[in-house]
Structure 1
């Protein structure tokens, strides 16, 4: 790629080869790109639209988080939707006079703000620890459920909203500027933004490629050709049409399920069990939910993850659930999380998640401390060399001069931004202190002396700092932020620090998860900003504004859902809350269901071995063995198949297969961006329309007809039927 002269004085036109008729057989795609002025990144319109998109994502994440435990960062989708919104300006100049074309740097700030707003439900534990505290009881926990009022829930969210943000800022120079970690999602978002705005593609490409049958290979010719088509599709009518129709289709299906609840849980598997006098739907939770949003999630997740999820679903719900029920180990209803098969297999899922988390994090911990030790040794050697060449020595001048010809050390990597675009160290220091004090004080006010001690909260923040460093490095290298494992490690440690206290155990894990989640999100965004030369300070502002706004938006959304629906209940099973509370109870009370331990050991050991093989896979030189390892299922995805009823996994498998077929027919071997646009419309359609159905339910409106909900014994329809 070479720059050529541009029509304007200070701009550059970048040409990328594409198949057409030239002397070499290649033409070019011209990117007219004007470098943006310093300070023009942080604009009111970028932040305002970022908050708007983020609020939609926030409600969507609350909905799906309470339902399935699935929460998405949606950075790529935020950038895409923000770009499309600003495309309305030239089309309707009187309606949107301020919406002139968006700049690349503004889009970076927009998606940073949107992500900060949209992911607060996970960072604040609104889909995990807060429902878990509300599920406690006197019999098992020795205390009543903790249900926080709106003011107290706001204080809790404020307590965990900012610590991870300030923690991430000083890490930027180390992991992005010096080590140049890839952060695949952040890099992919940067590539998409550059593509949409016809800016020069980021210099750093997405180097790590999945191995095995899902390896994606891109050639310069195929890439340029698809880029040209994508620009036309996403900038013009096809992009809007794809997003609009997918949104309408998913929203319509959501309304249909609200009016006719059987559409949410079709008892299609009863065809198999009817000859035997049983009902797989009513008795074993085997029904199908034709949700377009689940299919969209499957497209975004991809086939490998959805296959792992469905393997886990089959093992959990078709093998272990009947075994535990028919053996009398789980005598209650299958759907019960206390004495039913669902609660029994939850423990097996928990063993899998803990085993994989510990093994997967181990190499990262070793690498982190090895890297830290190496840096200390390098500093010591350079200090010794500096002292040696500064003072008189028996060596002659030529030999001494050789020391000055050494290549610059890794720590000497220059900062690529001017000071006025960086976040000052004094802000970081004061912010860390202030956010830590705020967290300790507010947690003490919210939960009191029966919750977690102030010194224990402070210890949790220290632990969150260390674990967040490891999580950020894992995210930068693998695109996976192991926040679930980080939270469980905190729970394990706090079982010793403050034993016998379920509340403290859950809160400590939530604090660690919040810190790791926010630090990872901001680091992904800063990677995008670094590739596109957006101001880190502008992104920092956007993150703070988005986090603050989401404190109130997320709290309102959560209280809205809990005021209308029973949580946990048929509509919202809150599987993440069950995992949090079950582990806390185990660590503090030591009670396990009958005969579940052998299965926990077998499955935990198996996935510990798989996690170890996957950690070792990059060092395997034999590509055939490496490919075989890539076929092994993901432990987290496998366990999620246990936590959710079969309908959630089956619909996602359809989406995963669609993504696979689309990638096979694509020139580049990747899922086309237009398919991602359709998937985003599917996800957002159900998320947004769920707000309408929630409002209708709060006003007393319900199903028009309960036809079909009594088939096979019923008991599986939602909506009050």
Structure 2
């Protein structure tokens, strides 16, 4: 007869994962996976930079990386460069590295840096100087590192227990499994790599014809000129079409309904009542300047509620601090034995926070007391960004950044560079936390 303990174990997703999915003996984080992941990530940095400045979004690169990696290793195997094929979990580790590198030019960083350069260029009277490359590399690196550690205390809640979709992470797991396993998928990996190349070529040709030769318009006013003024047009770019293919049906329709409600209903109502002043051919800036705040408030309100309800995840992180600083070692069992130690998060905060505060003071002239506020605020915003990404596959760095800017606009008035880069702490940490959780979702499904 099944005992109550056994019944509970069957209902516990972590126990089921350990028993049925976890693959502790399969090659995982190998040197070759890290090296190839870094090289692919470097290439993805360029594409992510273009996508962000075109759409304002940071797109995951794991799907592209896993297919390219499989094709590269299969080709290397055929010509005798390597004898051992790339394993499923090696590919997962490789895509994790590639995604982490690719996201260094994601929205949280590039939005802030782009705004910083624009402010400095447009305000010569302020005599501001763009920080040199080395300090900015250090800045982005520290922000990324803290974002990685922020993901640790919330991973078990969002992925293990709640099972949030993280659509790109789930799609990557399905793709890796399909191209690596099963006799019915023989040759499928190379076929998918070929289709990936064809799709990339089509996108590149269309972008060249549209942007370089101006033979194709950027958008088509399919719904009339009045609707076009409210940005309701059909874009001739394939970037967002590809992004939609990675989202769930519910998320796609939610975004569509939100866009229609904003630009077809709310925007015209605001203009009619004189609450917004429309200038130029497009009404986008006028509308989004108003709707940004209620939209961001909805995200923050919902995220803070979830954050408060999940206080146990953060509290658990501090329970292991004793062992981290030489206290009595605890023997971990079950899922805790294979997960990253919870105490890594508070130790990372203690070690990295002084560096972040120092750089904020030295590079952006933010008072130390004001810089001190940025780290706990960024941790909270990182949790919100991660949850939203898990549910929608879109990391809301553009929405959460202005919340931080509003706070710093009040406490440090007149400091334009500090206002911009304080949002980078929030956006960057949220971006890298969400990115890591997306790849951890892939690993969770594959047994890494």
TM-score range for the pair, normalised by the shorter chain length: 0.7 to 0.9
1:468/1:266 Cα in 2 relative to 1: closer, same or farther (>3 Å)?
A: closer
Indicate which of 200, 205, 210 corresponds to 1:257: 210
**Structure 1, unaligned runs of 5 or more:** 1-32, 200-227, 274-278, 336-340, 377-410, 535-721
Matched, 1:93 2:79: yes
**Contact 1:87-1:235 within 8 A present in 2 as well:** no
How many Å separate the matches in 2 of 1:471 and 1:250? 29
Q: C-alpha displacement at 1:494, in angstroms?
A: 3.3
How many Å separate the matches in 2 of 1:472 and 1:345? 27
**Other-structure match for 2:148:** 165
Indicate which of 214, 239, 242 corresponds to 2:195: 242
How many Å separate the matches in 1 of 2:158 and 2:219? 48
Q: C-alpha displacement at 1:461, in angstroms?
A: 0.9
Q: C-alpha displacement at 1:102, in angstroms?
A: 0.6
Q: C-alpha displacement at 1:425, in angstroms?
A: 7.4
1:321/1:162 Cα in 2 relative to 1: closer, same or farther (>3 Å)?
A: same
**Contact 1:475-1:520 within 8 A present in 2 as well:** yes
1:150/1:373 Cα in 2 relative to 1: closer, same or farther (>3 Å)?
A: closer
Matched, 1:51 2:48: no
**Contact 2:276-2:287 within 8 A present in 1 as well:** no
How many Å separate the matches in 2 of 1:350 and 1:495? 16
**Other-structure match for 1:522:** 436
Q: Secondary structure at the match of 1:334?
A: coil
**Other-structure match for 1:130:** 113
Cα deviation per residue 1:166-195 (whole Å; 9 max; x = unaligned)?
333455566656x46445444443343333
Q: C-alpha displacement at 1:59, in angstroms?
A: 1.3
**Other-structure match for 2:295:** 353
How many Å separate the matches in 2 of 1:350 and 1:254? 29
1:78/1:286 Cα in 2 relative to 1: closer, same or farther (>3 Å)?
A: same
**Contact 2:38-2:97 within 8 A present in 1 as well:** yes
How many Å separate the matches in 2 of 1:520 and 1:309? 19
Q: Secondary structure at the match of 1:332?
A: coil
How many Å separate the matches in 2 of 1:99 and 1:162? 35
RMSD: 4.3
Question: Which of the two has greater helix per residue?
Answer: 2
Aligned residues: 414
**Other-structure match for 1:42:** 29
How many Å separate the matches in 2 of 1:289 and 1:176? 35
Matched, 1:332 2:318: no
Cα deviation per residue 1:117-148 (whole Å; 9 max; x = unaligned)?
1112236521x222223344899999467644
Q: Secondary structure at the match of 1:525?
A: helix
Higher relative contact order, chain-length normalized (CA < 8 Å, sep 6+): 1
1:43-442 alignment runs, 5 A limit: 43-90=30-77, 92-94=78-80, 97-98=81-82, 100-122=84-106, 124-126=108-110, 128-136=111-119, 143=126, 147-169=130-152, 171-172=154-155, 179=161, 181-185=163-167, 186-198=169-181, 231-232=185-186, 234-237=188-191, 239-265=192-218, 288-301=234-247, 303-311=249-257, 313=259, 320=267, 324=271, 330=277, 332-335=279-282, 341-369=283-311, 371=312, 414-416=333-335, 431-442=348-359
Matched, 1:463 2:377: yes
**Contact 2:70-2:86 within 8 A present in 1 as well:** yes
1:130/1:364 Cα in 2 relative to 1: closer, same or farther (>3 Å)?
A: same
**Structure 2, unaligned runs of 5 or more:** 1-20, 318-329
How many Å separate the matches in 2 of 1:58 and 1:155? 17
1:360/1:433 Cα in 2 relative to 1: closer, same or farther (>3 Å)?
A: closer
Q: Secondary structure at the match of 1:263?
A: coil
**Other-structure match for 1:445:** 362
**Contact 1:173-1:415 within 8 A present in 2 as well:** no
**Contact 2:171-2:246 within 8 A present in 1 as well:** no
